[in-house]
Amino acid sequence: MIRKCLFPVAGYGTRFLPATKSMPKEMLPIVNKPLVQYGVEEAIEAGLKQIALVTGRGKRAIADHFDISYELEHQIAGSGKEKYLSSIRKVLNEGTFMMTRQREMKGLGHAILTGESLIGNEAFGVVLSDDLCLNPNDDGVLKQMVKLYNQFRCSIVAIQEVPMEEIHKYGVIAGDDMGNGLFRVSDMVEKPDADKAPSNLAVIGRYVLTPDIFDIIRETPPGKNNEIQLTDALLTQAKAGCVLAYKFRGKRFDCGSVPGFIEATNYVYENVYDEDVH
């Protein structure tokens, strides 16, 4: 059974400067809730209640968010405003939180390797919280992937079709179509030019990884942009054994970019946000 979910939250968030100069981008709110809380709620829904955060300098607000604020609790206890704390209280009641720091931003692969001490030798989920995934009234994306892991017992990456003019922003897979939205990965390239992309199937920020990935990352040299790329490690894993790619059910918003963030805000305000339920 998968119990843990890793959140690499150490990145600089340069695309949101100056907002992210002294505030983590993962704390930017979509309507009234920080991005990282949406991710944690999705993990808990999938049964992954041990939350492992790989943070960095300037990210203390994330640690504080997943803790009690005594002054605030005391101030609003018994008042009509208590309801505003209900969603974060639920998260704190159900989840446990562990943290470590990535001292140098050497890429997503490196961030995940930094989390090894929190994960140990077991399969785990990974959420990049700047990808907001929503599937109201049905299983969340991570829950769909955990069900598949229980069936296939190998690493799984979430994919979606993207227009070719945007493919250079993503890790891209090639694979054998197994039906039901599942592909067995045969190739994987990080941020290719459109003419070199093996397909239009882009990897987005949800993964289930088997723990052999840590040894593979240790052996993976820096790749694109001189960063240690998870994509490169996953290709090694795919060649040695099996990695599946899964076209999930639901919507995904790239909240690491300004247009995606605005689109998510409008969608949540119109379809998800309820003034009386927080």
Residue located via tokens 């470590």: 100
What x-and-dash track marks residues 76-105 binding ligand UTP by CB under 6 A? --------------------------x--x
Q: Give the residue, chosen from 2, 111, 202, 243, that forms a contact with ligand UTP under the rule CB under 6 A.
A: 111
Q: Give the residue, chosen from 107, 140, 171, 223, that forms a contact with ligand UTP under the rule CB under 6 A.
A: 107
Q: How far is CA 211 from the centre of its chain?
A: 17
The bridge status of strand 131-134 relative to strand 251-254 is: antiparallel
Q: Whose CA is closest to 268, among 151, 136, 93, 144?
A: 136
User: Between 107 and 182, whose beta carbon lies closer to ligand UTP?
Assistant: 107
H-state helical runs in 32-135: 35-45, 60-65, 70-76, 86-94, 108-114, 116-119
User: Between 106 and 224, whose beta carbon lies closer to ligand UTP?
Assistant: 106
Q: Least distance from C-beta 15 to ligand UTP, angstroms?
A: 3
User: Between 182 and 265, whose beta carbon lies closer to ligand UTP?
Assistant: 265
| 268 within 8 A of 31, measured Cβ to Cβ | yes
Q: Which stretch binds ligand UTP (CB under 6 A): 3-11, 37-45, 141-149, 267-275?
A: 3-11
Query: Would you give the end-to-end CA distance of the chain in angstroms?
Result: 30
What does residue 277 show for φ and ψ, rounded to 5 degrees?
A: -120, 120
Interactions with ligand UTP, residue window 208-267 (CB under 6 A): 256
Q: Least distance from C-beta 267 to ligand UTP, angstroms?
A: 20
> Looking at the DSSP assignment, which residues form a beta bridge with residue 104?
none
| 24 within 8 A of 59, measured Cβ to Cβ | yes
Q: Least distance from C-beta 205 to ligand UTP, angstroms?
A: 7
Interactions with ligand UTP, residue window 20-49 (CB under 6 A): 25
What does residue 97 show for φ and ψ, rounded to 5 degrees?
A: -125, 130
Q: Give the residue, chosen from 2, 5, 6, 9, that forms a contact with ligand UTP under the rule CB under 6 A.
A: 9
Closest-by-Cβ residue to ligand UTP is 11
DSSP type of residue 257:
S
Distance CA 62, CA 34 (A): 9
Q: Does 184 bind ligand UTP (CB under 6 A)?
A: no
Count of residues that bind ligand UTP according to CB under 6 A = 20
Distance CA 125, CA 142 (A): 8
| 229 within 8 A of 237, measured Cβ to Cβ | no
Q: Which stretch binds ligand UTP (CB under 6 A): 63-71, 107-115, 156-164, 193-201?
A: 107-115
What does residue 145 show for φ and ψ, rounded to 5 degrees?
A: -75, -35
Q: Give the residue, chosen from 4, 11, 36, 62, that forms a contact with ligand UTP under the rule CB under 6 A.
A: 11
Q: Least distance from C-beta 34 to ligand UTP, angstroms?
A: 13
Q: Give the residue, chosen from 36, 51, 52, 54, that forms a contact with ligand UTP under the rule CB under 6 A.
A: 54
Residues lying near ligand UTP in the complex (CB under 6 A): 8-15, 25, 54, 102, 105-108, 110-111, 128, 130, 256
